[in-house]
Structure 1
Amino acid sequence: MKVMVLPSAADAEHHVAALFAKQLRRKPDSVLGLATGGTPVGVYRALAAAHRAGAADFARARTFNLDEYAGLPETHPQSYAAYMKAHLFDLVNLSPARTHLPDGEAANAEDACRFYDALYRYYGPADLQLLGIGLNGHIGFNEPGFAPAPGGTHVVRLDESTRRANARFFGEGEQVPEYALTMSAGRILQARSIVLLATGAAKATIVVRALEGPIGTDCPASLLQLHPDATFVLDIEAAGKLEPETAAGPPLERG
């Protein structure tokens, strides 16, 4: 595991965006694994700016998102399809035909999961996968204590803590969907390179569990300890509870 601690959330976001821009320069037809939620917004803002400056060309790239709410049409403002269009897809030269998310509107969610997983197996794995980390340690929507999925993409019932955390994105009186379609932890770990971004003091406790705790599904992000090329990019606040040897010693890079 690598850990990079940067002075601020903005610094961490720009560093992650620079990793993606570098990946596109090195391999223009890269498969990019993308995440949603509050954490990646600054990354996508920086990537859109890099594209405008001519430093990030998405024309030959292909993207796969981790997850989508079940039952939300893609036109719903809180669907992850709408999120990605607003924060990245409509701001760069990325063909809609080369962007992929699970189909949250499918009449048969299990069939939609199988189709998405087959699509990922065909084009993937991701060359570079972006992750956030939930306050309960989830990656994608793989909640604590999950049973490993027999395939890859699967339907999950969202933990109540996840629904509470995501309620801020929904309007007054709107309910956060109870179910979602998500890429499995095993499929996430197939990515060639993974970068997990965590910012803010609220993430400090779960970052410790992910980096220093035992490996297991009680903290799904701890499974990243098994990956040969995974990097945690943290701001000072998210790194605030790490042991000195984790936060200051090898293999740390400090920006």
Structure 2
Amino acid sequence: MEVVIAPGAELARLAADAVERLLTARPDAVLGLATGSSPLAVYDELARRHAERGLSFARARAFLLDEYVGLPADHPERYRNVIDAELVARVDLRPEAVQGPDGLADDLPAACAAYEAAIVDAGGVDLQVLGIGTDGHVAFNEPGSSLASRTRIKTLTRQTREDNARFFDDDVERVPTHCLTQGLATISAARHLVLLAQGRHKAEAVHQLVEGPVSALWPATVLQLHPHVTVLVDEAAASRLQLAHYYRETYAAKPVWQAL
């Protein structure tokens, strides 16, 4: 696990560098896209590179991490609509090449199984963008989630619903109680995981992710078992890291030829 501590704008640039490097080497790469506030600056940077430098997503495919259950197809906070607005509409990524879990399916377990199969049929995710919740969840794998879990329906914790209420006019009762989410094992099957976190409110979750024991209590800790994880955090989110000085030293001494 590589931990990079840098200002927020630099974090977005580094994450975008990783995506650009992948698409340059493999234009038909499979991307894993996250919603929430953490990746927004990354999508802004990718859209800028598309507009100014011609970075192309035309042959790429993408899968979303999760989706609310029951939100109408035209609801602005439905994650497919969010990703369309934040990235797809701003680059040349084909809308039909982007797939998310079907939160409106009549048979939700069948929809989850079909989503898992679609990811496998695409050859798996090459680079997965991630955020982390204040309670250590990734995607919507809440505390207590199985570390071997696959795409499934989950009940959101009160904490997660309160954290997301800002997207629903600060009314927690308008936040859905259920979602479909890629499981921790599904996420762990991606070849490169790039997680971003900013702000002191994420500091404890980042500390547990990087330095805590692997535990379902902090679901993100399963990433410690992955062979290629990049954790991009600002100073505030890194404030609880006991080995912060070491992470800074290793990144400063990183060989020029070595990417994230």
Is the pair's TM-score, using the shorter chain for normalization, greater than 0.5?
Answer: yes
What secondary structure, in the 3-state scheme, does the structure 1 residue paired with 2:63 have?
A: strand
Q: Does 1:61 align with 2:54?
A: no
Give per-residue Cα distances to partners, 1:165-199, cap 9 Å, x unaligned: 00000136561000000000001000111111011
Find the counterpart in structure 1 of residue 4 from structure 2. Answer: 4
Structure 1 residue matching 2:174: 3-state secondary structure: coil
Aligned to 1:78: 77
TM-score normalised by the chain length of structure 1: 0.94
1:158 aligns with 2:156: yes
Distance in 2, matches of 1:131 and 1:62, equals 17
Cα deviation for residue 124 of structure 1 reads: 3.2
Deviations 1:77-135 (CA, angstroms, capped at 9, x unpaired)? 01101100110011110111110101111112111111111101111311111110000
How far has the Cα of 1:75 moved from its partner? 1.4
Structure 1 unaligned residues grouped into runs of 5+: none
**C-alpha distance in 2 between matches for 1:197 and 1:249:** 15
Secondary structure at 2:162's aligned position in 1?
helix
Task: Report SS of the residue matched to 2:53.
Answer: coil
What SS does the corresponding residue of 2:237 show, helix, strand or coil? coil
Q: 1:253 to 1:92 in 2, by over 3 A?
A: same
Q: Deviations over 1:199-242 (max 9, x none)?
A: 11111111001111000111111111000000101111111111
Amino acid across the alignment from 1:194: L
CA contact (8 A) 1:3 1:247 kept: no
Question: Structure 1, residues 137-169: CA drift from partner, whole Å, max 9, x if none?
Answer: 00110001113566x210000111000000000
Matches within 5 A, 1:109-128: 109-128=108-127
- Against the structure 1 CA distance between its residues 55 and 199, is the aligned structure 2 distance closer, same or farther, given a 3 Å change threshold? farther
Structure 1, 8-17 or 225-234: larger mean CA deviation: 8-17
SS at match of 1:138: coil
Please show how residues 25-104 of structure 1 align to structure 2 within 5 Å.
25-104=24-103
Moved beyond 6 Å, runs of 4+: none
Relative to structure 1, the CA distance from residue 172 to residue 228 in structure 2 (aligned partners, 3 Å threshold; closer, same or farther) is closer
Structure-2 residue corresponding to 1:131: 130
The alignment of Structure 1 onto Structure 2 pairs a total of residues equal to 252
Offset at residue 26 of structure 1 (A): 1.3
Tell me what 2:139 maps to: 140
| Equivalent residue letter for 1:5 | I
2:181 and 2:56 mapped to 1: Cα distance? 27
Could you tell me the percent identity over the aligned residues?
42
Q: Paired residue for 1:13?
A: 12
- Distance (Å, rounded) in 1 between the aligned partners of 2:249 and 2:33: 25
Q: What's 1:167 paired with?
A: 165
8 Å Cα contact 1:74/1:80 also seen in 2 = no
Q: Secondary structure at the match of 2:4?
A: strand
